[in-house]
Amino acid sequence: MPKVHRQFSGSQLIIASHNQGKVREIGDLLRPYNVETTSAASLGLEEPEETGKTFTANAKLKAHLAAKMAKRPALADDSGLVVPALQGDPGIYSARWAGPEKDFDKAMQLVECRLGKSSDRNAYFVAALALCWPDGHSEIFTGRVYGTLVWPKRGTLGFGYDPMFLPQGGTKTFGEMEPGIKHSISHRSKAFAKLVLACFST
Ligand code: IMP
């Protein structure tokens, strides 16, 4: 029996994130579905501590809290860069590697430094999306994009680790790519495609 997903039937969705880069990307991805997005930060909603051990657990935790507080459905994303040669780091700690000052130059340098002379420069971005309702129901979807890490980093577009991530088969890093092109192949867009198909179809 195929899984029956709960449909999102409203026109307003809370994006349970305080990261402006992500809120902007999610808003762009949902615009074609006539969904108006409001960020948790703009509603003054509290940001929970990300105590989960997986991307999925953290996405669920954030969306549940926002939905409960706002009494409306909320969508949260938890994402990060996984480097197998670093035993999966920075992984769920991708944001924390940039420190309180959110310095991703420093975070990318740390990745490069830990990789050292390793011949394995494979990496992938993961995105977990949790759409949660105030009654506690949740729908979870994940996406990945595979690539390799380049050094020196290239490009000034995007955010986070984009300048050092070269997607498989590409010549431009995410930091050199127009946002529309990145959206079409990113981990987040893959998770989104699954979410939209399951919960936003008419
Ligand atoms: P989160 O807010 O805990 O999900 O943190 C995710 C972190 O992973 C971000 O702050 C970025 O450092 C990194 N990240 C996730 N998605 C991307 C992306 O598309 N490009 C670059 N970095 C990303």
Domain membership flag for residue 53: yes
Residue 202 — pLDDT band, cuts 50, 70, 90?
low
Residue 19 neighbours by CB under 8 Å, 6+ apart: 95
| 78 a catalytic residue | yes
Domain membership flag for residue 5: no
Cis peptide before 152 (omega within 30 of 0): yes
Higher pLDDT, 48 or 112: 112
Region 156-166 average pLDDT? 96
Per-residue confidence (pLDDT) for residue 85, from 0 to 100: 98
165-167: strand order across its sheet? 36-39, 12-15, 74-82, 122-132, 138-149, 165-167
Polymer length in residues for the chain: 202
- pLDDT tens digits for 80-96? 999 999 999 999 999 99
Q: Is 94 in the pocket of ligand 1 (CB under 6 A)?
A: yes
Q: Is 19 in the pocket of ligand 1 (CB under 6 A)?
A: yes
What is the whole-number distance in angstroms between the Cα of residue 193 and the centre of ligand 1?
18
Domain at 63, CATH number: 3.90.950.10
Domain membership flag for residue 167: yes
Tokens of 35: 């969904």
What is the whole-number distance in angstroms between the Cα of residue 95 and the centre of ligand 1?
6
Domain membership flag for residue 146: yes
Region 52-62 average pLDDT? 97
Query: Domains in the chain: how many in total?
Result: 1
Q: Is 173 in the pocket of ligand 1 (CB under 6 A)?
A: no
State yes or no: pLDDT of 46 exceeds 90. no
Say how far apart CA 111 and CA 92 lie, in whole Å.
14
Q: Domain limits at 44?
A: 12-199
Residue 9, Cβ neighbours under 10 Å: how many? Answer: 8
Domain membership flag for residue 117: yes
Domain membership flag for residue 6: no
Q: Which helix (H) or strand (E) is 197 found in, with range?
A: helix 187-199
Domain membership flag for residue 4: no
Domain membership flag for residue 86: yes
Tokens of 116: 């050292």
Region 185-191 average pLDDT? 93
